[in-house]
Structure 1
Amino acid sequence: MSNTLQKNLNYKKYVIDNRLQYFKPHASRIEKTFAEEISFSLNRHCKFISPKFFYDKKGSDLFEKICMLPEYYPTKTEITILKKLQNELPSYLDKNFRVVELGSGASVKTRIILDIFSQIYDVVEYFPIDISEILAESSESLLKDYDHLHITGIIDTYEGGLEFLKNYDEKKNLILFLGSSFGNFSPVDGHEFLQKINSTMKKGDLFLIGLDLVKDRQILESAYDDSQGITAEFNLNVLSRINDELDADFNLNNFSHHSLYNEHDQRIEMYLKSLVNQSVVISKSDLLLNLEKDELIHTEYSHKYKLSDIHKLLDDVGFDIKHTWLDDKNYFSLTLASKI
């Protein structure tokens, strides 16, 4: 990658050693984006906070705890499907692939894919893209366990990281979007995001996406409002992050976690509910936020899909579906696709 391209994309390169490097936009750019987005989203009639802002260090740690909860089936189920891929995925790969992951992790899921690549390649290249600083920490953990792994991290939004990758080199990419993160997008935004992924892919690149399937309401609602209150803590932590990074004065005791399954729109809806009439100052967003008792701040949608929805969605964007894998209960799906 040329220094000119690096400069034009407003990234700084950090070389840790000969196996680990990462690129990061200038700090002022990230802070400005966060402040501007919060100012916009909380100044609407129907207030919201983008779920991408859940994942600071504490938020990422809390989500790891959620994944271990008995009620939260998506992670455990997806892992069972990924293990099926150990014998099947290599047939779709040649000798010129790297792993690109949207949402980095040192979790079991990432390691299953890295194990598959380690069986095929003498040197495995891994490009995690994540807005959270946890990327650097998780990368170092992976390097301890994989002697032939080389990591180039991109600390940025998914869109920013994909655009960066588009101009990086000519090596083929297997782009992973695991978990049920795609379900956070509205249908319109999800369609645009898949178009973005498709537009950054080269001929021969592959895309592996995890999508949660429609199922019983009780199973879904329990998964997003667990008995231990970890999901509630995770939801409320976004207010702590705004306090810390944007100099706000949210009192977390004045809010509660609220979630439900909207059967018509096939989605879990997650909110922060104001328990009192209150005013909040967010200094770096130049915002005085007035909230009424029981007013909701939307923080996340988690859409669920039928198999017919998945096929139509990927077809419409211009993907060629190679294979879809399911678990034994048909709770979750993994679909492999290429650019047409």
Structure 2
Amino acid sequence: MESRFEFVEIRGDHPPLTLDRAVREGLSAQPKSLATQFLYDRRGSELFERITELPEYYPTRTERAIIEARAGEIIEAAGEGAAIIEFGSGSSTKTRLLIEAALARRPELRYMPIDISFEFLKSSSANLLEDYPGLQITALGAEYFDAADALPSHDGPRLILFLGSNIGNLTREEAVDFLTRIRRGMEPRDRMLVGIDLVKDRGILEAAYNDRQGITAAFNLNLLRRVNHELGGHFAEGCFRHDAPYDDVEHRIEMRLYSRRDQRVRVDALDQTFEFADGEFIHTEWSYKYTRETFAELCSHAGLAIEHLWHDDRNWFGLALLRVTG
């Protein structure tokens, strides 16, 4: 398998955001915030996997069902001999459906997963290589924006994946910047497949991020636990509560941790104490929702256009295939 695997680390020009810097800057700002990426330590990732299995949380299973039904069409649309590049590959669970559809049409496939977790990337790559003898993997250890500036080349078309509605965790400005960076590295024959959570009833959206079992609350509160563990923070989890309201003007879910009272919290590693008023919140994540029209407008600012949009019967989730314009 070693002959079919290559690992490449991509380092950006800017230093990566560290937890201590995120806490110092985010909790000193108004409104307070903590960067979304720090939700995903080992426990956070395990909790998120549980979230994806909750009855209220529709995005993961709905996207998977679309891919199961349309994998062959997606591979055909990508072009003959297309390689697959994937941002935020994780365990590549849904991607296996596309890998299998590609290998059903040809004996070999080049797959280039991108993830910031190097060990997880190597482990998931090893599993894929064992399961698919026709697979060749070039794994890229990098953050999204760094990898977007250095897309690996291929002797043929490339299908670039950004699944899981991860585009929704970026602000609209960040999303345009990210797509623009990818567009600069694309050729007319390349395609990009983006998972987008579609605008729908407020009750459905808020239930997905405020589940009855409290798993999403535990996931969000785990961020404070991480600060305690890694930076000597003194957050009492019972003094904060999770809520994720839907903003129907901005069309986004806003994950928040609300202070239950006036309080002061020290973080030893920073030698700093942060003050919280009763009802003040820490923003931890956005999750933007789109219509075809609003997502098409976003893409147009990046020099991309929707070539095809696959969606489920309820029109809750979409997979947009993008091409270069001009």
- TM normalised by structure 1 equals 0.86
Q: CA deviation at 1:315?
A: 2.1
Q: CA deviation at 1:150?
A: 2.5
Contact 2:151 2:182 in 1 (8 A): no
User: Over the residues paired in the alignment, what is the CA RMSD in angstroms?
Assistant: 2.4
* 2:214 aligned partner: 229
Structure 1 portions without partners, runs of 5+: 1-15
Q: How does 1:294-305 map to 2 (within 5 A)?
A: 294-305=279-290
Q: CA deviation at 1:139?
A: 2.4
| Structure 1 pair 152–286 and aligned structure 2 pair: CA distance change class (3 A) | farther
Give the distance between the partners of 1:126 and 1:151, measured in 2 at CA.
5
1:126 is aligned to 2:111: yes
2:247 aligned to 241, 262, 272, which one?
A: 262
Q: CA deviation at 1:291?
A: 1.9
* 2:149 aligned partner: 163
- 1:285-314: CA deviations, max 9, x gaps? 564322223210001111111121122221
Give the distance between the partners of 1:188 and 1:226, measured in 2 at CA.
29
* 2:263 aligned partner: 278
* 1:142 aligned partner: 128
- 1:192-224: CA deviations, max 9, x gaps? 222122123233221000111111111111100
* 1:315 aligned partner: 300
| Structure 1 pair 118–256 and aligned structure 2 pair: CA distance change class (3 A) | same
1:250 is aligned to 2:235: yes
1:79 is aligned to 2:64: yes
- TM normalised by structure 2 equals 0.89
| Structure 1 pair 144–303 and aligned structure 2 pair: CA distance change class (3 A) | same
* 2:174 aligned partner: 189
Amino acid corresponding to residue 249 of structure 1 in structure 2: H
Contact 1:95 1:121 in 2 (8 A): no
Contact 2:296 2:305 in 1 (8 A): no
- 1:207-244: CA deviations, max 9, x gaps? 00011111111111110011111111111122233334
Instruction: Give the aligned length.
Output: 322
Q: CA deviation at 1:72?
A: 0.5
Contact 2:241 2:260 in 1 (8 A): yes
Contact 2:172 2:298 in 1 (8 A): no
Contact 1:95 1:120 in 2 (8 A): no
Give the 3-state SS of the residue equivalent to 1:237 in structure 2.
helix
Q: CA deviation at 1:284?
A: 4.9
Moved more, 186-195 or 324-333: 186-195
1:332 aligned to 313, 317, 323, which one?
A: 317
Moved more, 34-43 or 223-232: 34-43
Give the distance between the partners of 1:22 and 1:232, measured in 2 at CA.
36
